[in-house]
Structure 1
Amino acid sequence: MERNILGATGMEVSPLCFGALPLGPLQKNLPLPEGAALIRKGLEQGINFIDTAESYFTYPYIKEALTGFTGEVIISSKSMATTYEDMEKAVFDGLSALERSYFDIFHLHAARTKRTVFEERGGAFQCLKDLKKKGVIRAIGIATHAIEVVEGAAEEKDIDVVFPLINQAGLGIVGGTKEEMIRAITQAHQKGKGLFAMKALAGGNLIDQVKESYDFVLGIPGISSVAVGMVEERELEINVKLFNHEEVILDPIDQVKAKKRLWIFKDGCIGCGACVDACPNNALMLKDDKAEVDTERCILCGYCSPHCPQFAIRLF
């Protein structure tokens, strides 16, 4: 697989980044050997970039996948820590779990925050700056869904990498349109920031436009890689081929498997009922102040997902 330069960091990353969230306990919860084997297969097929987070609980999968692997692997992680002490703990706990001496990229995990995040999490940000000076992390990043945070990161000299949400449907973007997010990304690129993207398939809503969706995101100047969550070998096979510019024909079985269920991230659900109101099939309801799905009524149309303010509904 080809390599792209991640902005001024100089890191060479594969255009396909293995997103580790879905295989872990918050989503698919694959057995450790199975999840690790899938990551390892991706590495052996040319992926050299893995994205994870403290809150994903997927470090054990990555550690096992890397055991005995001799190729270079770029690991990106993140934490929602706000204080110096909590961020320091997050970084060193992660390194201990992975049995590594440094992180290539460590982000402020700031999906739905405002531009003031750098001041509000000043202690955590200062910790990352200090750890970079010590060689414990190679680059400081911020992972966000918000346009104004990308704009702020472009002007923040100590931010090396920006990990924004962007997709051709404009779903999940906080604070504006896809065109406005692209302008913010362009601004960050012009400032030399490394950029890789999340949610290219809009949480599964664009599964019937896979190639077009990836091409759209990779066509944005400055985007070096796209993080894609994968939980099955067939998904990995399709994505590797697509990112290697090989022809892929998705048969009906692929489409059915890709849309096999609606998943609700209960920790993210705030019980607002927006998804219930949006569902045309009366397949969603609130139970104990959390959204629930009636799988017999759900036809996986995806109408609910764009209405969730927490981006807590996915199609898998």
Structure 2
Amino acid sequence: MKKGMLGKTGIEVSELCFGILPMGPLQANLPVPEGAKLIRSAVEQDVNFLDTAEAYQTYPPIRAALEGWDKEIIIASKSAADTYEKMEKAVYDALEALGRSYIDIFHLHAARVEASVFEERQGALQCLKDLRKKGLVRAVGISTHAVEAVERAAQVDDIDVVFPIINQTGLGIIGGSVTDMLSAIAKVHQAGKGIYAMKALGGGHLIGQLKSAFDFVRDIPGIASVAVGMVNAKELEVNLKLFNNVAPGDWLAVDHKINKKLLVASFCKGCGTCLDACPNQALSLHDGKAEVNHQLCLLCGYCNPVCPEFALRLV
């Protein structure tokens, strides 16, 4: 599989990055052995890049998958920690849970933020810088849906890697259009930083345009890798073929449609906590209960764990 360098980090990654979020408790909730088997199958087929996060609760299948594996695997994780102490704990927890002596990339997990995130989370950023000096983190990054945060990242010397949302229809982009995000990504590339992309399929909404959606993102200058969530062997097979430029048989001829949906239970109390967690403003309050705009919902599952009533379900 084609591999590319993440900016000036010296970290080389496969063009297909395995996004681990969908197999975890926030979405498919695969049993650890099942998730581990799928990850192991991917790395055995030359996928060397895994993307996860503290909030995804997916460290166990990664650790299980890599048991006995002796080739280099690049792992990116992230935390929404906003202080030095919280970020330090997040990184050390990741090291312990994954059984590793370092994490390749650790991001500020900042989906729905403004450019001021670098000042607002100054302590967390300082922690990552210090851990980079100690060799516990190889590269410091930011994961975001916001155009202005990507633009600002191009100017922040201490950011090595940027993980922006980008897709051909602009689903999930905050504070601008596809053109705006492409311009911001170009600035990051010109600054010599590493870039890999999220949500090329818009959370699954573009699955019917699979090849064109992937090609759009793969062709953006500076993007070394595309993170794609996978929860079964067929998805892995199709994605491997596409990223190896091999026709995936008759799979593309089938009218594939997204088969997941976020539902709100009748016992929702309308507290609004989920609204702040949603990175795409797909949730609102109506008649005292949360309501989902399914056209905007990216099916990320970020709202699920913050609901005090456990009233949100991805099914």
Determine the structure 1 residue equivalent to 2:83: 83
TM-score normalised to the size of structure 1? 0.87
The reply to whether residue 52 of structure 1 matches residue 52 of structure 2 is: yes
Aligned partner letter, 1:246? V
Mapped to 2, the partners of 1:204 and 1:170 lie a distance apart of 13
Aligned to 1:138, what secondary structure does the other structure show?
Answer: strand
Q: Structure 2 unaligned runs (5+)? A: 266-271, 304-312
Determine the structure 2 residue equivalent to 1:260: 259
Sequence identity percentage: 55
Kindly provide the CA deviation profile for residues 147-197 of structure 1, in whole angstroms up to 9, marking residues without a partner as x.
Answer: 000011000000000000000001110000000100000000000000000
Aligned to 2:174, what secondary structure does the other structure show?
Answer: coil
CA offset at residue 291 of structure 1? Answer: 3.8
Kindly provide the CA deviation profile for residues 200-253 of structure 1, in whole angstroms up to 9, marking residues without a partner as x.
Answer: 000111001111111100111100000000001000000000000001234389
The reply to whether residue 11 of structure 1 matches residue 1 of structure 2 is: no
The reply to whether residue 270 of structure 1 matches residue 279 of structure 2 is: no
Determine the structure 2 residue equivalent to 1:69: 69
Aligned Cα root-mean-square deviation (Å) = 2.9
> Does the 8 Å CA contact 2:52/2:78 hold for their aligned counterparts?
yes
> Does the 8 Å CA contact 2:169/2:178 hold for their aligned counterparts?
yes
Determine the structure 1 residue equivalent to 2:226: 226
Distance 1:211 1:93, change over 3 A: same
CA offset at residue 70 of structure 1? Answer: 1.3
Aligned partner letter, 1:86? K
Determine the structure 2 residue equivalent to 1:132: 132
Q: How does 1:89-168 map to 2 (within 5 A)?
A: 89-168=89-168
Determine the structure 2 residue equivalent to 1:217: 217
Distance 1:2 1:308, change over 3 A: closer
Determine the structure 1 residue equivalent to 2:294: 304
Distance 1:194 1:264, change over 3 A: farther
Determine the structure 1 residue equivalent to 2:242: 242
Kindly provide the CA deviation profile for residues 132-158 of structure 1, in whole angstroms up to 9, marking residues without a partner as x.
Answer: 000000000000000000011000000
Distance 1:70 1:259, change over 3 A: same
> Does the 8 Å CA contact 2:167/2:217 hold for their aligned counterparts?
yes
CA offset at residue 261 of structure 1? Answer: 2.7
Kindly provide the CA deviation profile for residues 37-77 of structure 1, in whole angstroms up to 9, marking residues without a partner as x.
Answer: 00000000110000000000000010000001111100000
Aligned to 1:155, what secondary structure does the other structure show?
Answer: coil
**Corresponding pairs, count:** 297
Mapped to 2, the partners of 1:310 and 1:251 lie a distance apart of 25
CA offset at residue 117 of structure 1? Answer: 0.4
CA offset at residue 304 of structure 1? Answer: 2.4
Mapped to 2, the partners of 1:39 and 1:14 lie a distance apart of 14
> Does the 8 Å CA contact 2:21/2:56 hold for their aligned counterparts?
yes
CA offset at residue 262 of structure 1? Answer: 1.7
Q: How does 1:133-212 map to 2 (within 5 A)?
A: 133-212=133-212
